[in-house]
Amino acid sequence: MSTKGKRTQDYAVVILAAGMGTRMKSSTPKALHRICGCEMLLLVVDAVRGAGIDNITVVVPQDSSPFKAVLGESVQYATQSEPFGTGHALLQARTSLEEGANNILVLYGDVPLIRSSTLSNLMQRHAAAEAVATLITSCSPDPTGMGRILRDESGSITAIVEEQNADSGTLAIREVNSGFYCFRAPWLWQNLQRLSAAPNGELLLTDLVEAAVMQDLPIESITAEDSHETMGVNNRLQLSEAEAILRQRIRVHWMLDGVSIPDPSSVYIDKAVTLGNDTTVFPNTHIAGQTAIGRSCNIGPNSIVDDAAIGDGCTIVSSVVRDSTLESEVDVGPFSHIRGGAYIESGVHIGTSAEIKNSRLGRGTKMGHFSYMGDATLGENVNVGAGAITCNFDGSEKHETVIGRDAFIGSDTMLVAPVNIGDGASTGAGAVVTQDVPPDTLVMGVPARQRQESADSDLQEHTHQ
């Protein structure tokens, strides 16, 4: 039973995410901590959907608002008001699932490295064996803190023994319980409500294995090929370890998909990022958020690209591009900053130590070093000299600068917004422009005025006509 590319209606998923994670020492619920730019819980949800299941219920604490802010209405919610164990948490989802799918997968919101393919394998084994319960195990080099899997001579699972209840022989077992289960739904609901509470008052899902053994019913398992898939995150150290593992997965994916990364260990790429073939990501570069980068780009070294759309053939050297769009064949840097919804059309050159904020630069424009364009619209083929800036903020409001096509903005020009520079107009070096400049006009000085020779020439031309 392959679920890849298909949606399955016979399975529903419950993700247990009500634990606050006191060892994280955080006001953020544990499952909502991020790795590679994505909440752990969302990574689990994505894995479930990748396995073809859309019927998802998330068990959350009393304050569900942080979870709904991340997942919205794409899942159902059940509330566990008191921490009475995993079995109790699963019972809270019964109302939404009891009359639905025939099989229930149980996952955890703080085990973010599970793969869709492993969940598909779990469902396949469960269906083929007609088991009442099928679980994922892993062989861990360090099983400390994990429940050990006990098997009989035939290899059948007979029990899951928690570490605090294990003798020395059991502690030597390396096969451990991951906490991922697939249950036949009618059997699950009948037996879950019959479980006896542990001495601490909790209902534990592991006791369902003992119940199935007592009833002489089939229990199946698969072993995760990668033990990291079942790694739980309980503190900041484990959070960083999970991030390192996922980060390497991401880099491997893109390198196998035609992206060059000469020094992988120094490159950070978030999960939602997309990269085109023949792009190269150089050392000490971070590509974050919902960034999409096209083909044949050179990104880095020492660059940050965050929530940006980058076209084909772009170069970004030692610069920051955030919340902005670059069309094709744009080169940026070094040491420049593009932010705040900037839009850079194709063929634009942005030099050293330039900043662009909430502005649009037209096709073929060249912006020299140590320049700033804020709240500005530049036409095609504009030349912005070194040190030229827009003075867009008057202390209370932002104002717009409009520069026409083929304009020439001299070095150290100050454009005091609101102001319009006409097509083909020019400003002299050091000009302070406080008034609109007509097309094909040169202005100079402080405050900038139309050059006298140009004005006299215009007058003579008018006289001779």
Catalytic residues: 369
Query: 415 — phi, psi (to 5°)?
Result: -100, 105
402 phi/psi in degrees, rounded to 5: -120, 125
| The residue type at 341 | G
65-98 exposure pattern, b = at least 16 Cβ within 10 A, e = fewer: ebbeebbeeebbbbebeeebbbbbbbbbbbeebe
Residues 6+ apart with CB under 8 A from 80: 18, 59, 60, 61, 88, 89, 92
Nearest CA-CA partner of 327 in 294, 366, 358: 294
Q: What's phi and psi for 125, nearest 5 deg?
A: -65, -40
Using left for φ > 0, alpha for ψ between -120 and 50, and beta otherwise, residue 434 falls in alpha
Q: Answer whether 114's CB lies under 8 Å from 45's CB.
A: no
- Of 394, 396, 336, give the one whose Cα is nearest residue 361: 336
Kindly report whether the peptide bond that precedes residue 218 is cis, defined as omega within 30 degrees of 0.
no
**Is the peptide bond between 66 and the residue preceding it cis, with omega within 30 degrees of 0?**
no
At residue 409, φ and ψ (nearest 5 deg) are -100, 110
Q: CA-to-CA distance for 124 and 3, rounded, in angstroms?
A: 9
Question: 87 with 191: CB under 8 angstroms?
Answer: no
Cross-strand partners of 268: 286
**Residues 356/343, Cβ–Cβ less than 8 Å:** no
In angstroms, the CA 383 to CA 378 distance is 10
Rg for the chain, CA atoms, rounded: 31
- How far apart are the C-alpha atoms of 419 and 352, rounded to whole Å? 25
3 state DSSP class of 413:
coil
